[in-house]
Amino acid sequence: MRILLAGASGFLGTRLVARLRADGHDTVRLVRRPAPGPGEFTWSPSAGQLDPAVLAGVSAVINLAGAGVGDKRWTDSYKALIRSSRVDSTSTLATAIAALPAADRPSVLLNSSAVGWYGDTGDQPVEENAPAGEGFLSDVARVWEAATGPAEDAGVRVVRLRTGLPLHRDGGLLKPQLLPFRLGLGGKLGSGRQWVPWIALADWLAAVSFLLEREDIAGPVNVVGPTPVTNAAFGKALGAAVHRPAIMPIPALALQVALGEFAVEALRSARVLPGVLNQAGFDFQYPDLPQALQAALHDS
């Protein structure tokens, strides 16, 4: 299968490219720089520019593009970038796909989204049929997912990947926490009662590959592990994984001082379950957090 990827240079994207190539797929990447290398094509999502010829012979499109949510303090300009980087890339791809003759369109668009769709769910478990919540990230997820509309209206199978928090020592949720936990300075965030929708990186990669092939699955899919835990339980499990106590809680007020508005989102509870994946019979390699943490800390 020839697969076109946007956002292929990020933490998840680089690993997904390696996985797809190992599975025998031909991958090509969209890049913003003007002098692309082998297997790369230049585009400008902020300007809505994508040469239709790039889609020639492409069977599937995967879009993971978007500025990092926790990479910088949330100024008004950075919040605008978080939103536009997601919506513009999605709209550009969906519009280009829809503009192709029906016979030339890719069969599927896997478009990144996030569990932020649900907002704060408290202790209530939610699956894909739950409505959007409130807050900045929920608002972003609504317009992000809506931007896939042109491709869906054109009859292309669209899967919206509502990704949780992938676990790996080199990025995502774990990377910024490893040093303090290894120093014995880790612990719960705020009250610790908020639910954490984690997923092992290996299971995230396997789920994307699974969804590429499952022609009967479309719409939102929660790409999360089957056993979410509270933040307090997560901290305790991570402390055990690095053989250190996890007894240094970070008060909510301290987080707000350090992170600003992002702290509000970081303290939200998201008890999100993989309803579609479970119903489809997806087999999680790491269904339990201790196993997933060991893999995250030791796998390449």
CATH code, domain carrying 149: 3.40.50.720
Q: At what angle do helices 201-213 and 289-298 cross, to 10 degrees?
A: 100
What is the pTM (predicted TM-score) of this model?
0.94
Residue 188 in domain: no
User: By the 8 A CB rule, do 65 and 29 touch?
Assistant: no
Residue 154 in domain: yes
**Residue-level pLDDT at 257:** 47
pLDDT digits (tens, 9 = 90+) for 155-201: 999 999 999 999 999 887 788 888 888 988 888 888 899 999 999 99
**Residue-level pLDDT at 251:** 64
Among 5, 56, 16, 74, smallest CA distance to 266 is for: 74
Residue 244 in domain: no
Residue 116 in domain: yes
Domain encompassing residue 107? 2-173+197-226+270-285
Q: Output b/e per residue, 88-107; b: 16+ Cβ within 10 A.
A: bbbbbbbbbbbebeeeebbe
Residue 8 in domain: yes
Residue 261 in domain: no
pLDDT digits (tens, 9 = 90+) for 85-135: 999 999 999 999 999 999 999 999 999 999 999 999 999 999 999 999 999
User: By the 8 A CB rule, do 165 and 197 touch?
Assistant: yes
Residue 161 in domain: yes
**Residue-level pLDDT at 60:** 98
Count of domains for the chain: 1
State whether residue 219 is helix, strand or coil.
strand
**Residue carrying the six token digits 């994307």:** 208
**Residue-level pLDDT at 255:** 57
Residue 166 in domain: yes
Q: Dihedral sign, CA of 17, 171, 173, 33?
A: negative
pLDDT digits (tens, 9 = 90+) for 206-258: 999 999 999 999 999 999 999 999 999 999 999 999 999 888 777 665 556 45
**Residue-level pLDDT at 37:** 82
